[in-house]
Amino acid sequence: MKTSILGTDLSGMVGTRVVELLSTEFDFIDLSYATGIDITNYDQVLSKFEKTSAETVLHMAAKTDVDGCEDEKILGEEGPAWMINVVGTENIVAAAKKTGKRVIYISTDFVFNGTKEFYTEEDEPDPINWYSITKYEGEKLVSESGLSFAIARLAYPYRAVCSLKADFVRRMLEKAKKGEKLFGLTDHVFTPTFIDDIADSLRFIFNKKIEGIYHVVGSNSLTPYKAVQQILDTFELKAEIIPVKREEFFKDRAYRPFQLALKNDKITGFGINLLEFPLGLAEMKRQMEFVNG
Domain boundaries, the chain: 3-291
User: Predicted confidence band at 252 (pLDDT cuts at 50, 70, 90)?
Assistant: confident
pLDDT at position 34 is: 82
| pLDDT, tens digit, 9 for 90 and up, residues 151-160 | 999 999 999 9
pLDDT at position 33 is: 85
What proportion of the chain, given as a percentage, has pLDDT over 70? 100
**Per-residue pLDDT averaged across 10-33, rounded?**
95
pLDDT at position 165 is: 85
Cβ atoms of residues 228 and 172 within 8 Å: yes
User: Predicted confidence band at 249 (pLDDT cuts at 50, 70, 90)?
Assistant: confident
Average pLDDT in the chain: 96
pLDDT at position 135 is: 98
**Per-residue pLDDT averaged across 122-150, rounded?**
98
pLDDT exceeds 90 at position 234? yes
Single pTM value for the model: 0.96
User: Predicted confidence band at 212 (pLDDT cuts at 50, 70, 90)?
Assistant: very high
d(CA 63, CA 171): 20
pLDDT at position 164 is: 84
pLDDT exceeds 80 at position 215? yes
| pLDDT, tens digit, 9 for 90 and up, residues 73-99 | 999 999 999 999 999 999 999 999 999
**Per-residue pLDDT averaged across 196-211, rounded?**
97
pLDDT at position 14 is: 96
d(CA 112, CA 118): 10
Mutual angle of helices 42-50 and 88-99, in 10-degree steps: 30
pLDDT exceeds 80 at position 277? yes
Q: Residue 189 — φ and ψ, nearest 5°?
A: -125, 135
CATH architecture, domain defined by 3-291: 3-Layer(aba) Sandwich (3.40)
User: Predicted confidence band at 222 (pLDDT cuts at 50, 70, 90)?
Assistant: very high
**Per-residue pLDDT averaged across 273-278, rounded?**
98
